[in-house]
Amino acid sequence: DGGITQSPKYLFRKEGQNVTLSCEQNLNHDAMYWYRQDPGQGLRLIYYSQIVNDFQKGDIAEGYSVSREKKESFPLTVTSAQKNPTAFYLCASTESVSGANVLTFGAGSRLTVL
Amino acid sequence: AQKITQTQPGMFVQEKEAVTLDCTYDTSDPSYGLFWYKQPSSGEMIFLIYQGSYDQQNATEGRYSLNFQKARKSANLVISASQLGDSAMYFCAMRRLNQAGTALIFGKGTTLSVSS
C-alpha cells in the first residue's frame, strides 16, 4: 500500500547532538512537508519542498535542515542549534484530490531531548 | 495575515449524538480551501473533509459535514451519530497564501471525547 513512512517512531537525544528523522513516500507526490507539533498546539511548518533539489523555509526553520535528493525522500535534521527540540514531528506530502490538494501524513516521530 | 481559530479546547458528547466543532478563519485571499483533520492518540493525521471557498454546497463525507458560512468566516465540522472511535483531536486548517505548494495553516485543535 502507498503511504508515508517516518522513522524512528521514538527518538531520544542528548543535548548538543544532531539527529535526523527519516521520511519516505511511495505515493509519487512532488511536494513534501515537515511540521512540528507541541502539546496543546496546532502544527507549525518547518520546511517544504515542491520538487527534487529544491526546498523552502517554513515558519520555524531555525535549528533545522533538510535535503531533497530523491523524490521519495525528505529527511529532517534537528541540529544542536534548535533550542527546544522536544516535540512530535510530522511529515506530509501533497495529493491532488478534486483541486483540494489534500495533505497525506506519516505516523510521526516523537523526539525527546534528555 | 491568515489565521485559524478553534475556541473549544475540549468537547464532550455521548454516543449517537451529533456534535459541532467550531472553526473561524481569516484570510485576504478570495479563493481559499478549508480542511478538517482528525488526530487519534496514535498521532497520525487523518483527512476528513474539504471545502472550497467557491463551492456552492456544504461538503459532506459520510457522518461528517462542514457548515460553511462564508460571510461569518466560519467552517464548523458537524459529526452526526458520534461513535467511541471519534474520540480524538480535531484540527481545522486552511491552505496558505503565496506558496506554490499546498502547505496548510492549522488551528490549535479541539479534543473530542465520546462516552457510552
Per-residue pLDDT tens over the stretch A89-98: 999 998 765 5
d(CA B27, CA A41): 20
B105: cell is: 495553516
- Residue entry with cell 493525521: B45
Kindly indicate the confidence band of residue A55, based on its pLDDT and cuts at 50, 70 and 90: very high
A93: cell is: 506530502
**CA of B53: which chain A residue's CA is closest?**
A100
Using alpha carbons only, how large is chain A's radius of gyration in Å?
13
Cβ distance of A100 and B35 shorter than 8 Å:
yes
- Using a pLDDT cut of 90, give the percent of chain A over it: 75
**Which of A 23-82 lie inside 8 A of B, CB atoms?**
31, 33, 35, 40-45, 48, 50, 56, 58
Whether A95 and chain B come into contact, CB under 8 Å, resolves to no
Whether B50 and chain A come into contact, CB under 8 Å, resolves to yes
B/e letters for B32-68, b = 16+ CB within 10 Å, e = fewer, are bbbbbbbbeeebbbebbbbbbbebeeebeeeebbbbb
- DSSP letter at B101 equals S
Determine which of A1, A102, A104, A111 to mutate to test the interface with B (most B C-beta atoms within 10 Å): A102
d(CA A38, CA B106): 13
At residue B94, the pLDDT reads 93
* Average pLDDT over every residue of B21-32: 92
Q: What confidence tens digit (pLDDT) does each residue in A67-114 have?
A: 999 999 999 999 988 889 999 999 999 876 555 778 999 999 999 998
Kindly indicate the confidence band of residue B66, based on its pLDDT and cuts at 50, 70 and 90: very high
Whether B47 and chain A come into contact, CB under 8 Å, resolves to yes
In contact, A105 and A4? CB cutoff 8 Å: yes
Cβ distance of A42 and B45 shorter than 8 Å:
no
Cβ distance of B102 and A101 shorter than 8 Å:
yes
Q: Which residues of A touch B52 (CB under 8 A)?
A: 99-100
Residue A87: closest CA among A19, A4, A1, A32: A19
Half-sphere exposure of A89 (CA within 13 A, CB side): 32
Residue B104: closest CA among A59, A61, A85: A59
d(CA A102, CA A93): 8
In contact, A106 and A22? CB cutoff 8 Å: no
3-state secondary structure B22-49: CCEEECCCCCCEEEEEEECCCCCCEEEE
Cβ distance of B52 and A99 shorter than 8 Å:
yes
